[in-house]
């Protein structure tokens, strides 16, 4: 996969994370929203491990 595609995916992952954090903040304590936003953030963490961290490794080795 090209570095440009990895950068695009990394940018989208960061947007998803930001949106989930904002949703959790705006939930007003609604437990269902908090729990589901937490699940989204857990999935985002896996994406970060899979994509963002690989991108960081490619940057270090370049």
59 confidence band (pLDDT: 50, 70, 90): low
pTM score, two decimals?
0.82
Local structure of residue 29 (DSSP, 8 states): T
Contact assessment for residue 12 and residue 26, using Cβ atoms and an 8 Å cutoff: no
Q: Which domain holds residue 35?
A: 3-61
Q: How far apart are CA 11 and CA 37, in angstroms?
A: 19
- Total number of domains constituting the chain: 1
pLDDT digits (tens, 9 = 90+) for 2-56: 888 988 999 999 999 999 999 999 999 999 999 999 999 999 999 998 887 777 7
Q: How far apart are CA 21 and CA 17, in angstroms?
A: 6
Neighbouring C-beta atoms of residue 47, cutoff 10 Å: 17
Contact assessment for residue 54 and residue 6, using Cβ atoms and an 8 Å cutoff: yes
């Amino acid at each position: 996969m090209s570095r440009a595609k990895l950068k695009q995916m990394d940018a989208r992952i960061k947007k998803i994370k930001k949106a989930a954090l904002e949703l959790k903040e705006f939930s007003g304590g609604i437990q269902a929203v908090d729990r589901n936003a937490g699940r989204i953030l857990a999935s985002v963490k896996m994406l970060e491990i899979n994509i963002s961290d690989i991108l960081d490794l490619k940057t270090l080795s370049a």
